[in-house]
Amino acid sequence: MPPSRIPQWQLEAGRATLALDGFFGEIDLSRTEAGLRVVLAESSVVVGGLLGVEFPAGFDPGRPHGIDARTRGPDLLATWGAVPETPVQMDAMWRAVPPGANDRFLAAVDLVVSVRTELFDVEPRLVVQSIVAGIEAVRIAADGQSRALRPGQDVLVRAPGAGATCLLIRTAIEGLSYAEMVHPADIHESLWRAGADQGGSSLVRHGLFCERLERGVILRARMRGVLLPRNGDASVAAACYAAFAAADPPLGA
């Protein structure tokens, strides 16, 4: 696979768009829980809402002047300041990752989220979730082995001892799969819910930052969503997870 050009985010009026090889993505920073809406560029068929950030109850990410957003090439960076109801500053960075010359995936997006506070003993819990229409959901183990989930099955993965936190969804779009993973150093609790029938929505939901947060401390978590061809998708997803788990932490968010 030839190397791809570096994708660039475009930001206007709180909406950010991104063109990846064969895909188009858009996210509304006032409704981050809906995630990055990804469609096929040639047909506008929706893949799903990927890597959406759900804020604590009572926190309005779309409040006037509440978002400091900017782009930096393949990075979309956003900061939400603390409010009395949620005294935590929250930062998110969505980073577009094109495939390299030896990669077998089609496109990927990393999400790095971090929290900090000026107070003592604050609970900063966040949730990241993706919803994808799929025909099958498969758990990828640390050794690369795969195990299909039953239709409608829920799997709750908790740390410590969570093992590899990678879920592969064979989407309702012919020939396309999606894998989502959490860095093993950052996992706390993930819920995987397989679609109840073919074409039903599969849910990936990660609870983050469940420990108490103290002043002067920054907590950070890293996730990656990968679009990949159906042929050999389990081995490709396993290779993507191994590379992601071994990568140095990014300097952002």
Q: Tens of pLDDT along 26-37?
A: 999 989 999 999
Confirm whether 70 is domain-assigned.
yes
Strands, E assignment, 209-251: 219-229
Confirm whether 251 is domain-assigned.
no
pLDDT at position 214 is 66
Confirm whether 67 is domain-assigned.
yes
- Cα separation, 153 vs 234, whole angstroms: 19
Specify the pTM. Answer: 0.89
**Neighbour tally for 121: CB within 10 Å:** 9
Q: What percent of the chain has pLDDT over 90?
A: 38
Confirm whether 225 is domain-assigned.
yes
Domain that holds residue 55: 9-246
Confirm whether 240 is domain-assigned.
yes
- The CA–CA distances, whole Å, from 62 to 26, 76, 78, 84, 201 equal 16, 17, 12, 16, 26
CATH of the domain at 32: 2.70.98.10
- Cα separation, 125 vs 189, whole angstroms: 11
pLDDT at 138 over 80: yes
Our count of domains for the chain comes to 1
Confirm whether 55 is domain-assigned.
yes
Confirm whether 253 is domain-assigned.
no
Confirm whether 1 is domain-assigned.
no
